[in-house]
Chains A and B, each alone.
Chain A
């Protein structure tokens, strides 16, 4: 529970699209089960007055916030509209934006994150599956049935690989405190360091699984900055240089960001490293 609990009020931007409608319903199903507030309104410019996934839709974030109490927004808008939507939400006073949208041009991401930061708003993603704190709240598209409540945090650049690891943890009887998908793009809002910092102050979280991949060095940066007990898994040890491995950010550039050197640097810091997802639960258990 590091970004919000069951009292968190949520709006969805891009509410009337197929994904928006579908995931509003799923998020609210989860909210009903845990007794949370969930998604209270949707926003799609030009579609105010409609309904999507069982919630009222407004033409702007400001209009939605006039009628509803919400501090977080989950974004499903098309890539071309994402920059504007992030800035709109931040400007209207939203404190946390979870940007699910993928394929946003990186210049748009840099600009909108800079603007959100000026407004005091945190951005998770883009190109991410969102956040799930089992028993508390779900912001995004993670499949809730794989999760179980407990005291292990998970922070990851990936989507389905995160579900794989959560599934492994749950099957091994290891519950999760909060699972955060920070996104697979080269530029993202909340980084490993930011999420680990929150885990440090979270009384529920006793250890964290860091799921990284090729590209950049945010994994090392984050783990170096924390005192939290951590297990790491880095995907892409077999990735060749200069090939984009599915995620826009998963690329070894100028001889930097390859998985093996990441693993080496993390090992040198004394971090236990899983060489495949199925090894993670065993390594986590040693930390608890």
Chain B
């Protein structure tokens, strides 16, 4: 789950990483009460979870006299389709230099990886391509709770020494908050020292419970509903609803829809144990998305009982046509049950998907 900038900064600050003086407001009218603390020269930053926020008009500069009016203007905007509900009012820093710092999970080495670059405020992938020597990387064994000094020296190079301490503090945030990404971009130097001018923190969805986070805000309502049943569910923008067991098979079903020139509206992975009740809930959930015109069910498993699945589909009783591919035990019984209720069962996923795409068009 992605945290917003002000939430990430609050956490970073709690670990001793300096952040600019700031306050989060929900109405322009709050400006006069927060300005005395922050000072006159401010930056107003929309708290929206979109990439390229600055370029999309989500960050505005103001002074004491213009701050309230500027806040009103920013609240009235939508940033890449997202309405602005909160604004971070922040002191404008006298920036000398900008750096990039992040810690993320490196799939190749199976370890945390630290990236430091003396080119901040930019897209790090672009920076790495254009000036590979500007980006320094180090992986750290997850068995250590801190970054060893020799690695800090390698990473920081000729940049201000204080950055090493910030790297270590960010590393603690990364470990203790179960982060997939902890990023400061830019990390800036000013006459009064180093500051995290922006902050990004993504928490591992599999660790939300132990981090005390009860609701994953990144999910839509229907996605949250799906999570309650232990389904993985994702919404897309086509017209075919997809149910499968196992993420790979479900993805493969989506690809097959595209192969036959159809478009999927959503997909739901029922996971292990596709019994009658779970299948019923799955079919109803997928069908409840208004854009779903037809549904493909593609279930394969050694222990999946096709008759149970068939009963679940029949129980769901959704108005859309359902195209079913089932392989498992009691296949014949399942086929008979489905046929008795006007549903068709197909021998292969290719056939089921092709039939569904035809009807969807």
Contact = CB atoms under 8 A, between A and B. Distances in A.
A216 B107 contact: yes
Interface residues of A, number: 64
Interface stretch (A62-70, A90-98, A100-108): A100-108
A221 interface: yes
Which DSSP category, helix, strand, loop or mixed, fits chain B's interface? Answer: mixed
B22 interface: no
A162 interface: yes
Interface stretch (A2-10, A32-40, A248-256): A248-256
B110 A187 contact: yes
B247 A186 contact: no
Given A187-B110, A254-B125, A213 B248 contact: yes
Interface string B131-174: 00000000001110000000000000000000000000000000
Contact of A161 (B180, B207, B234, B249): B249
B350 A105 contact: no
Interface size, B (range):
35 or more
Given A160-B246, A240-B236, A278 B107 contact: no
B245 interface: yes
Interface in B256-303: 256-259, 264, 267, 269, 300-303
A276 B204 contact: no
A184 to B, nearest CB: 6
B183 to A, nearest CB: 11
A259 B254 CA distance: 13
A255 B125 contact: yes
Given A162-B248, A167-B327, A104 B349 contact: no
Contact of B258 (A167, A189, A238, A278): A238
B308 interface: no
A187 to B, nearest CB: 5
Contact of A114 (B142, B247, B259, B267): B142
A110 B300 contact: no
A110 B210 contact: no
Interface in A149-172: 156-164, 167
Contacts of A159: 246, 248-249
B143 A115 contact: yes
A249 B251 contact: no
Interface of B: 105, 107-108, 110-112, 125, 141-143, 175, 178, 180, 204-207, 210, 232, 234, 236, 244-252, 254-259, 264, 267, 269, 300-303, 327, 348-350
Given A143-B302, A187-B110, A236-B251, 11 more contacts: A109-B110, A110-B105, A110-B142, A158-B247, A163-B302, A184-B248, A217-B108, A235-B255, A250-B247, A259-B255, A278-B350
Interface of A: 79-80, 103-107, 109-111, 113-115, 118, 142-146, 156-164, 167, 184, 186-189, 191, 211, 213-214, 216-218, 221, 235-240, 243-250, 254-256, 259, 275-278
> 8 tightest CB-CB pairs across the interface, nearest first?
A143-B302, A158-B248, A246-B247, A160-B246, A161-B248, A105-B207, A110-B142, A160-B249
